[in-house]
Structure 1
């Protein structure tokens, strides 16, 4: 291979470009800011969509409150299922005694 020919220079440029593209793709995939052509960074997210930012914040707040409500429902249902499992696995005489004691 000739180290002084134009093929070597083109190979170095191709390797550098491919490395830059792969690096940018990985950074964008994982949510890191991507560098632009002049060394600055381009933030991901609401670029050009500043008018949608309040709506996005409101939507996040609504989803958070809905998530809390659903977590509460799930915990209550888990408690009820635990009671039903205890009733289903206990001997019949014990359940009958508890029912009679409640009367």
Structure 2
């Protein structure tokens, strides 16, 4: 085997294999980055849901108190709720 034959073998066999490994690695890096972005989005959504859940639980506690308290306290609490601006009372869906 001469040096020219060896060089031809390197060019025809190893160059495509090297390129293939390069592109496969890039593809896996892209997939990993996409999974990281998706994980971040899911975590952010979980935080939003937890916040919304806490807000709803607080509203339910207030409503439970209104339902179980006497008439004078109920009227005062209803008036206190009316004093809160509408945009702060509403929970985004």
With normalisation by structure 1, the TM-score equals 0.44
Does 1 or 2 have the higher relative contact order (CA < 8 Å, sep 6+)? 2
Structure with bigger helix share is: 2
